[in-house]
Amino acid sequence: MHGFGDGDFIRLRDEHGREWRGVAEISDTMVRFRFRDSDGNYVSGISDQDSGIVLRDEKGNTWRGFVD
C-alpha cells in the first residue's frame, strides 16, 4: 500500500488498485489507523516510533511497512 496524508486524513492505494480512505488518531506514543474502501471493506492498524506500521484487514491479511 502507498499513499499520502493531509492532517489526519489519509488516502492509500493497494496492490490491486483499490483506494482506501481513512484517518489517523494520534496518542502520546502511537498512531492508530482506520481505512475503508468503496465496497465497505476495512483495514486498521497501529504505528509507533520503533516498529513502523502494521495494518490488518477483516480477513486477517497483514501489511507491514513504514511511514516516510
Q: How far apart are CA 11 and CA 1, in angstroms?
A: 10
User: Cell triple for residue 16?
Assistant: 490491486
The radius of gyration of the chain's CA atoms, rounded to the nearest angstrom, is 11
Whether residue 27 has pLDDT greater than 80: yes
Report angle CA 36, 7, 15 to the nearest 5 degrees.
Answer: 40
Per-residue pLDDT band at 29 (split at 50, 70, 90):
confident
Q: How far apart are CA 25 and CA 17, in angstroms?
A: 25
pTM of the model: 0.78
Q: How far apart are CA 15 and CA 40, in angstroms?
A: 18
pLDDT in tens, 30-66: 999 999 999 999 999 999 877 788 999 999 999 888 7
